[in-house]
Amino acid sequence: MSTLGTRTGTTSPRPGELLLKVDGLAKSYTSKGKRTDIIGNLTFSVNAGEVVCLVGPSGVGKTTLLKCLAGLHPSTGGEMSIDGRRIYSPPPEMALVFQDYSRSLMPWLTVEKNLRLPLRHLRLPQSEVRTRILDALAAVGLSHAAKQYPWELSGGMQQRVAIARALAYRPEILIMDEPFASVDAQTRFDLEDLVLKIRDDYGMTVLLVTHDIDEAVYLSDRIVAIGLRPAVVLEELTVDLPLPRNQLDTRALPRFAELRNHTLSLIQHASAKPTPSAMEDAVPGAAGAPA
């Protein structure tokens, strides 16, 4: 796995400064006149250079949250901002790796051209474009597949193409929706380490959704656990495991097991059927916060 080259000039927040802020976010879908509140009054933030994992039971609204953050869906309440600017439409400093990877690659373009397409409007010199593409493909271990079409690749390879596309774009913040769900264990470890590496090498900030509690503990500086319907932050916990992390040693630490068990019990608690009182506890403010 090779390096990703240098990032081009940024005026972004320095490491540790606030980058992404979600304040009282609410989101509901209305279909056939019936309103469903998916997210209610959700608040958290991500600092520059951090790796933050969002964990939560299936169907809680993690993908919905990311799509609001990316400016793809309008929120129905609260505020989101990046670099101090409110998010209304997709912000330029963000790249998103979609959960539904097979539907996010252009089937009429080769892998290489899929990576090239988002770079067009950045108007970079050709040599820079080429280096970025080669580096990103090397980083995900797909240099050999540059000339193939996405539909010729396995699911895991397609997902890695989608990750490479985001890497070549060099965002300030990389948002990933269950990016490693369909790769084998070894590739998964490699890609997890790649995430840590791009943060270390380029100061890229990463917000990652995962089902896998071990993965969240291994990767994160902080874990944001969300649950209940409408979804709220159940707990934010700082992962005080030493850096740099290492697949064998880090996972063997007693503290790793503690954090893992703590997070797991949080999630299990939240995915149990919410009692009416728990529902009421969860919603204050959500109803009274239209966009």
x/- binding map, residues 128-167, to ligand ATP, per CB under 6 A?
A: ----------------------------------------
Closer of 96 and 232 to other proteins (Cβ)? 96
Q: 59 contacts which partner out of other proteins, Mg ion, ligand ATP, none, CB within 5 to 8 A by kind? A: ligand ATP
Q: Give the span between the Cα atoms of 213 and 251, in whole angstroms.
A: 12
- Shortest distance (Å) from residue 41 CB to ligand ATP: 16
Contacts of other proteins in 28-47 (CB under 8 A): none
CA distances from 258 to 235, 252, 261 (A): 15, 11, 5
- Shortest distance (Å) from residue 177 CB to ligand ATP: 7
x/- binding map, residues 25-44, to ligand ATP, per CB under 6 A?
A: ----x-x------x------
What phi and psi, each to the nearest 5 degrees, are found at residue 151? -75, -5
- Shortest distance (Å) from residue 266 CB to Mg ion: 18
Q: Give the span between the Cα atoms of 114 and 123, in whole angstroms.
A: 16
Q: Which residues bind other proteins (CB under 8 A)?
A: 67, 70-72, 89-90, 92, 94-96, 98, 100, 103-104, 106-108, 117-118, 120-121, 149, 151-152, 169
